[in-house]
Amino acid sequence: MQDAAPLRRWVFSFDQRAAGWFADMIKVAVVSARAHTSLQPLCLFDGDQTPPIISWLERNGVDIVRARVPFRDELFSEAVISANAGTPYHPEHAAGAFLRLIAPDYVEEDSFLYTDCDVMFCADPLPFFTSPRVLAACPEAATTDGEKGQQGFNSGVMILNSAGFAARRPEMIDLLRRNHFYFRRHQSFDQSMLNLLFRDDWEPLGEEMNWRPFQGINSRAAILHFHGPKPHRIQAILDGQASADEAQVMSRLVFDHRLEYDHYLGEYRGFLAAA
């Protein structure tokens, strides 16, 4: 990695369809960032309407850019939808997920922080920041026993080099097209694609930058990522109201790590109350 430079800009994105479901998580991300960091938040939004969360973000000092990926029409095409039949693929979800590909177009900084919407800032990430050549991220971690894996990185929290990442965009789009904009094997929109392209180019971040609840309670964590079950569904699972899919995939994870989930849910609720 290059020598560290100040981390100033934080970018996140979502689509019209996710505006309601992710609203509370987005509020917690923004309020916690404001409490613990000096980051300047930028939201890339794909949507024609103005949902309540967009108005809330504007009132809370978040820069809003209505943006669309250049291949958006392809995401809604009959050919792509047909090719992904029987999968969780949804064109609006794809349109929001792939906004990270164009994020460098809207920042002035050489490097910036990009996160999913389901994060909570527990401390200032600046002490863990160094500027990568293309991207830096944390290794993926298993969602069953909390053991760290080295099979690739998690794209929910990344430091992106603006020029280096943008230069690889044609390769990214080409790979997406060849896979019909969805990777069936891993049920993934962007993470599998990024890992395939950058398997020899990504650089590791300290795990405190992308800490998952099932890894334990960590007083040094800078960014907590609700990877897997989201806060409102965690409570439903704990209350015995898990859906059939959650009961099969998420219930054991949550109950095996109930102490950790209770801890981070408490912090989450505190930030949400402040929103």
pLDDT (tens digit per residue) in 70-81: 999 999 999 999
Q: Above pLDDT 90, what percent of the chain? A: 75
The pLDDT value recorded for residue 247 is 76
Please indicate whether residue 184 or residue 263 has the higher confidence score (pLDDT). 263
74: tokens are 């392809």
Reduced DSSP (H G I as helix, E B as strand, rest coil) percent helix, strand, coil of the chain, to 5? 45, 20, 35
pLDDT band at 141 (very low <50, low <70, confident <90, very high): low
On the question of pLDDT at 82 being above 90, the answer is yes
Which option is the CATH number for 9-227: 3.90.550.10, 1.10.3720.10, 3.65.10.10, 3.60.20.30?
Answer: 3.90.550.10
Tokens read off for 144: 């069953």
Compute the distance between CA of residue 91 and CA of residue 77 in angstroms, rounded to an integer. Answer: 9
pLDDT of 232 reads 87
Q: What is the pLDDT of residues 28-79, one digit of tens each?
A: 999 999 999 999 999 999 999 999 999 999 999 999 999 999 999 999 999 9
* pLDDT value for 7: 85
pLDDT tier for residue 144 given thresholds of 50, 70 and 90? very low
